[in-house]
Structure 1
Amino acid sequence: MNCIVIEDNIVQEQLIVSHINETRTLNLLGSYPNCESAIIKMNTSKVDILFLDIEVPGMNGLEFLEKYNLQKDTHVIITTAKSKYAIKAFDNGVTDYLLKPISYNRFTKAIKKVIGKSIIESIKKDFMFIKSKGSFIKLLFQDIVWIRSSCEYVIIYTINKKYMIYSSMNKIMEKLPSSFIRIHRSNIVSIDKIDRIDGDSLELDGQMVKISKTYKNDLMSKLGIAN
């Protein structure tokens, strides 16, 4: 699972990063001292877990949760020295609330909670509805091969056919499970459908799709390939 840390205290940041590195199922995408500096990475990567401090410079953690539209599958774990924010944090849909200093035992309990919620969510929904030519069509995620943008439209390629819908890549990405990854500003692919990677392109269903430098490290990390 891909993680981002927002923490301005160097000692606490190093502790959280150390816990992440000790946990085989976790992959650190980046660590940032404030919310604003993390936004670009969160917009360009699939983030499974956000470790979020509340009292950080600029926009605080709670303001960030209220103002920023997080990806649907992102689980937020609050990391703070104060318990007074707990009620408001859970009202904003966080998965867990950790008090500093964070022990590894408590950290792993939070990760297990994330995994449990992820399993429940994946069982609960394995499809999405799209509007195409005036009708609402049900698409199973397992049937989607890849997605590309075309001006103001998005083209969804499934195993059997393709659909053109009026939407944005960011909105589509919010609906997709973690088995999909963005590999280019204009391309999203199903990880399960990737056949091979050749330089700055990958092949799926006989189609070569472009990978941009911005997204390649995240792709290789998600696949467990040394880049």
Structure 2
Amino acid sequence: MMQCIVIEDQPPAQRVLKKYINDIGSLELKATFADALSAVDYLKTEKIDLIFLDIHLPKISGLEFLKVIKHEPNVILTTAFSEYALESYDFGVVDYLLKPFSFERFVQAVNKVQRLESDFKQERTLAEKNPLSNVIFIKSGYEHIKIEVGDICYIRSDSDYTEIHTKDQRHLSQETLRYWQVYLDPQKFSRIHKSYILNITKIYKINANQVILKNNETLPIGRAFKEEFMKLVIKE
């Protein structure tokens, strides 16, 4: 059973979410908060699988909340405002429920989270069975292509597969970005965006929200990943 919290300041919306959570059966509601700052303190000591998060909240907004939390819980946004949808996905949210939403739409969003969690557990198991190596093998048709890990510049997520970019080549992999995040050395490979993992040894310079690589390619830095990324590359 997935443990979840609700961050919502409107009592009617709280009641709807509580009923839906109770009706779905696979979720356990651990706490409800009327403001995001209280939830920040709660998450410092409690491990939660899923957050139902409103955007317009007192004290700090839902998007500001996503900037300050230290781990990456699954987040489903629940809001009456559609204009934040594109911006929200920069924080890696799983789904965006536009109020008022039906129970059927709610179930679809929760099922999406459950599929992601199931895939991630399988990927972690596979990665843990394969200790860190200097090479990886990517299946291409009936062949397996050998790639030196040190040659990887970055990995980009593209729908149902990932692209592994070296200096001169691009290879497609059926593994997900979360798999590579677990498999590769976290001291050398950093998640910088919901769609990118970067080999930090390939960095030429860092701008406000971009990384310029030694081969002059430019990659975006997602706001939800920037703090941890900067801690890794700028060690005092």
Under TM normalisation by the shorter chain, which class is it?
0.5 to 0.7
1:120 — aligned with what?
A: 119
- Ranges in structure 1 where 5+ consecutive residues have no aligned partner: 130-136, 139-174, 177-227
- Structure of higher RCO (CA pairs closer than 8 Å, 6+ residues apart): 1
Counterpart residue number, 1:48:
49
* Residue number in structure 2 paired with 1:12: 13
1:22 is displaced (CA, Å) by 0.9
SS at match of 1:44: coil
Aligned to 1:152: none
The answer to whether the aligner puts 1:102 opposite 2:101 as a matched pair is yes
- Report the Cα offset of residue 126 of structure 1: 2.4
Give the TM-score normalised by structure 1: 0.54
Name the SS for the 1:50 alignment partner: strand
| Counterpart amino acid of residue 37 in structure 1 | S
Runs of 4+, deviation exceeding 6 Å: none
Whole-Å Cα distance in 1 between the matches of residues 123 and 82 of structure 2?
Answer: 32
Q: Is 1:39 equivalent to 2:44 in the alignment?
A: no
3-state SS, counterpart of residue 59 of structure 1: coil
Alignment partner of 1:13: what SS? helix
Aligned amino acid, residue 80 of structure 1:
T
Kindly state the Cα deviation for residue 67 of structure 1 after the two structures are TM-superposed.
2.2
How many residues are matched? 131
Aligned to 1:69: 70
**One-letter identity of the residue aligned with 1:16:** L
Q: 1:43 to 1:128 in 2, by over 3 A?
A: farther
* TM-score (structure 2 length as normaliser): 0.52
**2:79 is matched with which residue?**
80
Larger Rg belongs to: 2
Give 1:41 deviation, angstroms. 2.1
1:3 Cα shift? 0.5
Deviation digits for residues 116-139 of structure 1, max 9, x if unmatched? Answer: 11111111122788xxxxxxx87x
Aligned partner of residue 97 in structure 1, secondary structure: strand
Q: What's the % identity of the aligned pairs?
A: 37
Shift of 1:101: 1.3
